[in-house]
Structure formats: structure tokens, C-alpha cells
Structure 1
Amino acid sequence: MRIGLLTEGGYPYVSGDARLWCDRLVRGLEQHEFDIYALSRSEHQEDEGWVPLPPQVDRVITAPLWTAEDDGVVYGRRARRRFAESYGELAAALCEGGVGEASGTGSVGSVGSTGSAKGSGEASGVEADRFASALYGLAELARDEGGLVGALRSETAVRALERACRAPGARQTAREARVPDLLAVAAHLERALRPLSLDWYEDDGLGAVDVCHAASGGPAALPGLLAHHFCGVPLLVTEYGVRLRTHYLADSDSPPAVRALLAAFHGRLATETYRRAAVVTPGNTHARRWQERCGADREKIRTVYPGMEAGHFAEVGESAECVDPDTLVWVGRVEPAKDLISLLHAFAEIRKEEPKTRLRIVGAPSGPEGAAYLGHCKALAAQLFPDEAEGLHAVGDNPVSFEEIGGPELPSAADAYGSGAVTVLSSVVEGFPISLVEAMFCARATVSTDVGAVVEVIGGTGLVVPPRNPKALAEACLTLLRDPERRERLGAAARARALELFTVEQNIAAFHGIYLDIVSRTPVRRVVLDGTGEPLPFAAPAEAHVPGRWTERSTRVVARGGPGWAAGPPVCATPPFAATEGAPG
């Protein structure tokens, strides 16, 4: 089976999102062949290069989302009219009420744990079809004319957007859009729609794969939508973090009109992606609620938990020893969403009851904002423990330490979890809590805040408290610190649950089954005909499906972009199928 793996800012780049998950999936499914279609986010990401690729990756084709040269395509009168009609319809679909309306004005809170993404799934079928028709109309125009970049940057696009905002029936936030707002929205749409101009959608590209697997929603899924539209290739969408939710959380500083229009675009794109996908695989129930609210059919949804390497934590998990029964451990990226401030206040309460207790905060800051937050946390720790504040960077007589994995004290993540009796998570925003799963592999009892997929992951093997509640966090930690038998019992149950649900093997087996299920339900798209035009039902020999290498595999084909993308031609160092000695035929 040939899988077209679609990524955006991810695999195979060294600094890519979900890089480890994609790499484990590809390496674990060596019986299949993979073509990687990757959209990069920055020049720096491209300069860092790729991770080493396994032999089952036949080729990697990349294109930059961060830049696009003018394609130089000059439209004739008919093409200009087609563009104006399709782009005008797209703009009109965004200006009407429906997907993303409430959330586009910054109302994110109603979407969180309840899944009631107000406005994000209320588009009528007519509105959804209008958006889809416009989107595919632009894609067909790009295919016929050789690109869309210049047209999307033209004054025609801005004027079409303005007319849609001023049209009767446009919602209030759209009518309030000023010229700078319209220019900002048009520029964002041009970037988001760049995949429409790629030359990936032919029989020698995505049209040749059996399944398109988008590693996320949003831009990564857009090539899959076009492959389905042009070639009938089935689409599988995996979201371990819902891209629509990420957009809502990130787009908070723009003017209301810009937020509303962009939220409408991303909401309608998510709805169309879920509608066309053969299967949608969220990483947890929290993500599943978002997808259902955006129109995903429940019958298409199959939860597949992320897979993690349990072997890295086996030694600590199988040992019953606890290095320090009076130590709490926090592990993760240092950033405001992790709410270390509440954790430090909770720890101050814990120290009043149990003066011997220590807190190890293990992790590196996430960017400049994380570095500033780390400095603030260290200052607060010095303020809360003034008599013990000297040298807060090291483990010693100080109750709080700030450390990073890789030093002599904590050479690995397993050592970090093994250094304490209880692992704490204090986040106010969380997707899938990887640090909790790692602690579970290490057979550690946990205290967590009730955010994201925490309760689903823990499943009764740890204590859960409300977020931003230092008193409740302190009481839960004290409960486990004072009861070693309960800690041991919860830790053993946590390890058993993690080994059952969250291993790499479980993840790979699930996707292998989903691939086979999708292909078994997909009609044959490529029919071989004989000289008279009649189909040859057995034109592909049975040997083609036997595991093993019947011909010498070619050197990987690497190409970039499409028309107007400063792309180089595909490079193939050897003939694609050079016959080997003794090969059949």
C-alpha cells in the first residue's frame, strides 16, 4: 500500500511538529510505502534539514508555506471572471453567519471542556456547499492556468472581499471591516490558499497513492482535500491538537473583523475537511468533541491515542524504589500555560504542613516568553522562601530547584520522574498531557489539574483538582505524600494503564488497521484496459502484493513546490525501477 503522508511544519524536518509520532509510524509500518508531502513554515526550518528517513520512504516533496514568488501567470478575460466569481463566493461564505462566528470574536472559553464551540458548527448545508464549491473552483482554476498566487494578491481579491463584507446579510463584525482589516484578511487567505497552486495533484503525485494521511488539520489537510477532489484518493485526518482550536487561541490580538473573518475561514475549512475525510482520528475525547462540533460524523471518528516509547521508562517503572519520598516533581516546557505560579503557592502551603518536602521543577523555557516566565517563577520562589532562597538553581538545602534534563543530577526524563514520589501537573491549558503519560510509565502517582485530556489519560489512577486552585493542589499532594501505600497502588495502576493504551505498538497497530479498512471500502480508481478498451481485472500480478523487494528501490525523489514556488525539478539519481539480477520478469 502506498501512503501519502501530508504534514505542515512537521515531519521530516528536524524541528517539525509531531516529528517523533510520524517517524515512529513510518518506521513501524515497514510493509507499506510512504510518500512524504511536507509544507515548511520557515526558511530556518528548511535549513535545519531532515531527520534520517527509513527505506520505506520512497520520496519527499516539499513546498514552503512561508514564501511564494509571483507565479507570473497572466489570466485572460475568462480566467479573470472565473477567479472573481470563485473568490467572491468564498468571501461571501466567510461573511455570512455560521462557522467560527462567535469564536472569531475571541470567545474561546465556551469551546473548551464542554465542546460547545459556539458558532463553530452551525453552518447550514447550503453555506458549507457554497464554501466548498468556491474552494474547489479556485483549485480547478489554479490547475488550468498554472497558479493562483498573483490573482490572490491582486486588487480584484481585495475588492471581492470588500463587496462581500458590505453585502446585505453580512454579519455585523464583517460590515465593520476597514481597509487595513481587508488587506490583512486577504494576505492571510493568500498564504492559507498557497497549496492550491501546487503541482501535487496529478497521477504521478498524490493521484498515485492509495491513502492520503494528513498529520493535522488546516493547511496539511488541504492537499488531501484536493487529491480527493481531483483523483478520488481517500483522506485520513489525524489531529492530536485541533488546528481550529489552536487558531482561536493564537489569534487574539487582531481587530474583531479580522478575527471573525479568519475564524470563519478556518472553521469552514475544518468542516469541509471532516466532511470529506473517510476517517478522522482524534488523539483524545477533548479533540473529538471539537471535531464533532465542527461537523465530523461520529461514525467516521476513531480515537487513537499517541504512541510513546515505554522502553525509555522501563527501568524506573519496574523498580519499586523511590529516591526521595518527600520530593514533588514537575516536568515540562516552562511557559505561562503551565501555571507554575499556582504550583509554587501550593508548595508554600505544603511546606507549612510537611517542612521536609522539596519541589523539583524540571524543564527548559519555551522561547522568549518562557524565559521571562522562568525568571518570574524564580523570583517568586525566592520571595516565598526567603530564608532558603540562595542558590535556587541547584539541588541542595533549598526546597525548590529549577533544572533541565541532561545534567549530572537528571541525565534523562526517566531519572527526573524517578527522583520524586509524586509527579505534579498544574496547567491551565493542556492538550494531550505527555508528561503525565511518562510519569505513568514510571509508575508514579500523579496530581493534576482538570484540563484538556487529563482525566481521560489518568482514568482514576491519580488525583485531579481544579485549575488555578493552589489550596486544592496542595491538599492533594499532601494526601499522597502522607500515604506511601496509596502512592504505590496508584503508581502500579497508572503504569498498567499506560502500557495498555499509550505505547507506540498500540498506535501503529491502530493505524495499520485503519489503512486496510479505508482501502477495503474504496472503489478501484485506476483501471487497466486492454487493446480493445476492455478492463483487465487481473492486470496487476499477485506478486506485486507479496512483501519483499522485487526490484531495486530508486534513490529518493526530492522536489519542491509547484508553479511560482521557486521550485527545482525532481531529482532522481538512478532509474526508478532498475531491474536486479533474478527479479521476476
Structure 2
Amino acid sequence: MRICMIAEGSYPYVTGGVSSWIHSLIRQMPEHEFIIYAIGAQSKQKGQYKYELPSNVVEIKEIFLDAYIDEPGKWGHRFRLTSQQEEDLKCLLGGGGGVNWGNIFDLLRTEKFHVAADFLSSKDYFDILEDLCRTKYSLVPFTEMFWTVRSMILPLFVSIRNDIPEADLYHSVSTGYAGVVGALAKHIHGSPLILTEHGIYSREREEEIIKADWVKGYFKDLWIEYFYTLSGCIYNSADQIVTLFNRNKEIQIELGCDPSKISIIPNGVNAIDYANLPQAPDQDIIRIGGIVRVVPIKDIKTMLQSFALVKREIPNAELTIMGPTEEDEEYYQECLQMVGSLELQDVIFTGTVPVKDYLGQMDILVLSSISEGQPLAVLEGMACGKPYVTTNVGSCKELLNGVNDGIGPAGFVTPVMNYEPMAQSIIKLCKSPSLREEMGRNALERVSRYYKHQDFITSYQQLYALLGEGQQWPALASN
């Protein structure tokens, strides 16, 4: 079977998390051929792969959302749209109501437009936006509205106009642009479509936009509604939707997803791979670690602030942050400045490293993210028998506390963006070797029993086989 994996902002340009998940899935299925449809943010990423692609990857197609910057449109043309086409576009641009994505796909891929920017430079676009401003955004300056919506929608239009490789099955690993491309692939080629949603993409974008300085206050709702509209595209189009834990399923249903489509397939790790890792030679140091990309959504600043409090009570504590720093260089520099302003000692940023070289040496692991799905970093630490302190995001509470499984806690869960409770939890573990050992044992038992890598692979093998043969995927017991 030929499977097209559609990834946005992850594989193969970024390590860890969703990228590791994709890489593992492909490697464990040599019986299938894979096409990677990679959606990147910036054209400078082209060919800059962080992974050696498995031999069963037969094609990689790259598109970049900044491609529209160099795409000029012809101003002032009129394309004589039908009233239905105008209504569909108005819904997409923020007019409310359900978007008919099939009509949008057909219109934007028509030869009427030489390039996507042609429509957004047309009189038709001007008229639709003018009507939208008059009926819904009367207090917003029209010029600002014109350019804001244009910048918002043009990457989507460019994505829709790209060619889609033909495959037996399409698998989008998020909603957003990857979800729209998956729905487009099904629309063009008619093959089945799977969505795996690790974190809730639209909620993550909402959190980012609320905090963003680059979005003016009166445009925040417009941007947020836009990303929810993108998610709705694949929720409606997908044949099957996979999520990783029950709370995500509940949110998807709240957002309008058909419950009968949703199955739960947890992530998994091979616990045996994390046994007997190199241990730390010096036991006079309490080693605290974070397996994390240095980007804002991981909230490294809260981790640093909590460590500053830890350091006051545990002077022999050391913090090692294991993960790439180049993804957001500006944020990384801000983190380094915070280390300096807090006068912190014993903070190490390793950059990208083989995590197994470090994990065995850690006494405590920390995750300070603002948003997560079911983080592989937590599963890896649990497989290594290490206690974790995490924020209450994604499935972290379920991972550490279990769901009536008779196994004790594997760490502490603390509020998001609140460094004091995080620090107190870390200090409690620092002061009690017996508590660290107990929680580490619980972690290993839970991950060994409920989060097996082979179970994860087998579930997807069965899902691919059934959809590829046109059969209905049965509801999982975990539903």
C-alpha cells in the first residue's frame, strides 16, 4: 500500500514529539511505501532534514507557507464568480456558517486564477470583504482588514493549489493546513483519509494568538475563528480520526467532530530500550532534566524560574535542558538572558543530543509546556523509571496518575505557567530519594503495562489494512 503522510511544522525538519512518532511509524511498517507531504513554515528549510529518511519513503513533497511572499497578483481583475462561490468564500473569510470545502477546492484550483494571489488582488475579493466589513466588522478600518485577511488566507490558497501525490491512503497528523491538504487529497483522488490529532491544533493556535503581540486585539477573534474553520474541514472529511487519550476525544466532540469516527490509540515506547542506561558517576548532585524543544509553547521560562527557587533550597541541584535550540533562536536567546538575570548556576542547554545518553543520569524530569498531546518525552522518562513533574496539559495527569489502574503516582502535576508549585514539587522529590524511587517504579510499571510500542504499531497496521480494503474500522475497547 502507498500511504501519504501529511505533516505540518514537524517531520522531517524538527526532532522529537510528532516527528519522532512519524519516523517510528514509518520504520516499523516496511511492508508499506510512504510519501511524505511536508508543510514547512519557511522556504529556507527546504531539504534541511533532521532525520535520515527510511528506505520505504519513496517520495517527499515539500511546500512552504511563506511561498506566497514572492507571488504577485494582478490587481483589479473580475472573475465573475457565481453567487454560490461568493457565499462560500464569504464563509471562509469569516462570515460564519458552514464552509463548503469541495466548492472552495474546485474554485481555487480552477484555471481562472493564474496564481493564488490573483483572486486576493481582484475586485471580487474587494467586494466580498467590503460586504463582510459592513455586516460584521463595521468598526474595523477597511484597509487593515483587507491586508490582514489577505495575509491570513493566502498561505491556505497556495496550499490548495499545490499538486497532491496520488496514494492509496492519506494520513494527516494534525488539523490546520495539514488537515485541509488531507481533505483536498481525498476530494481529488477519492482515497480514504485518516487524521491523527496529537494535541488540539485549533486550541493551541488560539492560545498563541491570545498572547501574540503581532495580532491587534480586534483581529484576534478573526484569526481564532479561522483556525477553528480549518480544523472543521478534516473533522468532516476524514474517514477515521485517531486521538491519544480520552480528554482529547471529548474536546474533538465539543468542536463538532462525529463521535463515531473517533478511536483512541495511545503512544507507546519499548521499555526494554531504556533499561540499563548509563548512570551518573557523581551522586552528590541532584540532576533535573527536561527533554524539550526550546520554543515558547514548551514554556522554558517557567522551568527556569522554578529552578531558581529550587536552587535556593537545593544548592547541589543541576538543570539539563535536552533538545534543539535553533528552531526559535530569538526565544532561546531570551532564555539565556533569563538565566543571566536570575543569576542561575548549573543550567545546561545541550542542544540536540541522543537522549538515552542523558536519561539514565537524571534524578527528576520536568515538563513545563503550555500545551501538549501525549508527550513521548514523558513516556521515555517513565520507561527509564524516572519521576516526572509536569504541567497539567494533554494527557500528563493521566500518564502520571493513571486511570484507576491500581498503580501509584509517577510524579506531580502542577498548574500551567506557575513556577512556584512546580518548584515545590521538584524540591519535594529532591529531598526524598525514597519518593523518587517509588514514583520511578510506578512510572515504569504503568508504561510497561499500558503504553507498549508494539500495541501502537499493531493498531495502525490494522487501521491501514482495513481502510485500504474499504472496511469499517471497529471501535476500540479504549473508547
Shared fold per TM-score greater than 0.5: yes
Superposed CA offset, 1:157-194 (max 9, x none): 541342332354x3xx5652531222221232121122
Partner in structure 2 of residue 505 of structure 1: 454
Which amino acid in structure 2 is aligned with residue 449 of structure 1? T
Partner in structure 2 of residue 283 of structure 1: 244
Give the Cα–Cα distance (whole angstroms) in 1 for the partners of residues 168 and 195 of structure 2: 14
The verdict on how the C-alpha distance between 1:164 and 1:311 changes in structure 2, with shifts beyond 3 A counting, is farther
Which amino acid in structure 2 is aligned with residue 380 of structure 1? L
Q: 118, 143, 162: which is aligned to 1:151?
A: 118
Please state how far the C-alpha of 1:25 moved relative to its aligned partner: 1.3
Partner in structure 2 of residue 215 of structure 1: 173
Contact 1:325-1:421 within 8 A present in 2 as well: no
Partner in structure 2 of residue 237 of structure 1: 195
Q: 103, 112, 137: which is aligned to 1:137?
A: 103
Partner in structure 1 of residue 256 of structure 2: 295
Please state how far the C-alpha of 1:297 moved relative to its aligned partner: 1.7
Alignment pair present for 1:181 and 2:145: yes
Superposed CA offset, 1:304-341 (max 9, x none): 33345656522239x8x995276140313445613024
Partner in structure 2 of residue 313 of structure 1: 274
Alignment pair present for 1:443 and 2:443: no
Contact 1:212-1:233 within 8 A present in 2 as well: yes
Partner in structure 2 of residue 531 of structure 1: none
Alignment pair present for 1:476 and 2:413: no
Which amino acid in structure 2 is aligned with residue 25 of structure 1? L
Secondary structure, aligned partner of 1:82: coil
Give the Cα–Cα distance (whole angstroms) in 2 for the partners of residues 520 and 420 of structure 1: 47
Q: How does 1:301-450 map to 2 (within 5 A)?
A: 301-308=262-269, 310=271, 313-316=274-277, 324=283, 327-331=286-290, 332-334=292-294, 337-338=299-300, 339-348=302-311, 350-351=313-314, 357-363=316-322, 365=325, 366-382=328-344, 392=345, 400-404=346-350, 412-450=354-392
Give the Cα–Cα distance (whole angstroms) in 2 for the partners of residues 74 and 470 of structure 1: 52
**Which stretch of the first structure deviates more once superposed, 277-286 or 424-433?**
424-433
Contact 2:74-2:122 within 8 A present in 1 as well: no
Please state how far the C-alpha of 1:455 moved relative to its aligned partner: 0.5
Please state how far the C-alpha of 1:83 moved relative to its aligned partner: 6.7
Superposed CA offset, 1:10-59 (max 9, x none): 43447798333222211211112223333333221114257433333333
Contact 1:211-1:234 within 8 A present in 2 as well: yes
Which amino acid in structure 2 is aligned with residue 437 of structure 1? L
Contact 1:14-1:48 within 8 A present in 2 as well: no
Alignment pair present for 1:43 and 2:5: no
Please state how far the C-alpha of 1:456 moved relative to its aligned partner: 1.8
Q: Which has the larger radius of gyration?
A: 1
Contact 2:322-2:355 within 8 A present in 1 as well: no
Contact 2:307-2:423 within 8 A present in 1 as well: no
Name the % identity.
Answer: 23
The verdict on how the C-alpha distance between 1:15 and 1:42 changes in structure 2, with shifts beyond 3 A counting, is farther
Which amino acid in structure 1 is aligned with residue 350 of structure 2? E
Which amino acid in structure 1 is aligned with residue 156 of structure 2? A
Give the Cα–Cα distance (whole angstroms) in 1 for the partners of residues 336 and 307 of structure 2: 12
The verdict on how the C-alpha distance between 1:156 and 1:288 changes in structure 2, with shifts beyond 3 A counting, is farther
Partner in structure 2 of residue 495 of structure 1: 444
Partner in structure 1 of residue 415 of structure 2: 466
Alignment pair present for 1:28 and 2:28: yes
The verdict on how the C-alpha distance between 1:481 and 1:186 changes in structure 2, with shifts beyond 3 A counting, is closer
Contact 1:42-1:64 within 8 A present in 2 as well: yes
Give the Cα–Cα distance (whole angstroms) in 1 for the partners of residues 192 and 427 of structure 2: 52
Which amino acid in structure 2 is aligned with residue 190 of structure 1? L
Give the Cα–Cα distance (whole angstroms) in 2 for the partners of residues 359 and 245 of structure 1: 34
Give the Cα–Cα distance (whole angstroms) in 1 for the partners of residues 268 and 41 of structure 2: 25
Secondary structure, aligned partner of 2:53: coil
Q: How does 1:43-62 map to 2 (within 5 A)?
A: 43-49=43-49, 51-62=51-62
Which amino acid in structure 2 is aligned with residue 369 of structure 1? Y
Contact 1:95-1:174 within 8 A present in 2 as well: no
Contact 2:199-2:372 within 8 A present in 1 as well: no
Give the Cα–Cα distance (whole angstroms) in 1 for the partners of residues 312 and 90 of structure 2: 55
The verdict on how the C-alpha distance between 1:258 and 1:325 changes in structure 2, with shifts beyond 3 A counting, is same
Give the Cα–Cα distance (whole angstroms) in 1 for the partners of residues 50 and 251 of structure 2: 32
Secondary structure, aligned partner of 1:316: coil
TM-score normalised by structure 1 residue count: 0.68
Which amino acid in structure 1 is aligned with residue 30 of structure 2? E
**Which stretch of the first structure deviates more once superposed, 468-477 or 263-272?**
468-477
Which of structures 1 and 2 has the larger relative contact order (alpha carbons within 8 angstroms, sep 6+)? 1
Partner in structure 1 of residue 475 of structure 2: none
Equivalenced residue count is: 453
Q: How does 1:542-553 map to 2 (within 5 A)?
A: none
Please state how far the C-alpha of 1:434 moved relative to its aligned partner: 3.8
Contact 1:6-1:215 within 8 A present in 2 as well: yes
Q: CA RMSD in A?
A: 3.5
Secondary structure, aligned partner of 1:368: helix
Superposed CA offset, 1:331-368 (max 9, x none): 134456130244134314533xxx6x423233464522
Please state how far the C-alpha of 1:431 moved relative to its aligned partner: 4.4
Which amino acid in structure 1 is aligned with residue 119 of structure 2? L
Contact 1:281-1:303 within 8 A present in 2 as well: yes
Partner in structure 1 of residue 161 of structure 2: 197
Contact 2:183-2:193 within 8 A present in 1 as well: yes
TM-score normalised by structure 2 residue count: 0.81
Give the Cα–Cα distance (whole angstroms) in 1 for the partners of residues 36 and 76 of structure 2: 32
The verdict on how the C-alpha distance between 1:65 and 1:441 changes in structure 2, with shifts beyond 3 A counting, is same
Partner in structure 2 of residue 457 of structure 1: 399
Partner in structure 1 of residue 405 of structure 2: none
Give the Cα–Cα distance (whole angstroms) in 2 for the partners of residues 452 and 435 of structure 1: 13
Superposed CA offset, 1:203-227 (max 9, x none): xx43xx3321012211112222123
Contact 1:431-1:452 within 8 A present in 2 as well: yes
Please state how far the C-alpha of 1:415 moved relative to its aligned partner: 4.4
**Which stretch of the first structure deviates more once superposed, 296-305 or 62-71?**
62-71
Secondary structure, aligned partner of 1:145: coil
Give the Cα–Cα distance (whole angstroms) in 2 for the partners of residues 324 and 509 of structure 1: 41
Give the Cα–Cα distance (whole angstroms) in 2 for the partners of residues 234 and 519 of structure 1: 7
Give the Cα–Cα distance (whole angstroms) in 2 for the partners of residues 279 and 417 of structure 1: 36
**Which stretch of the first structure deviates more once superposed, 509-518 or 139-148?**
139-148
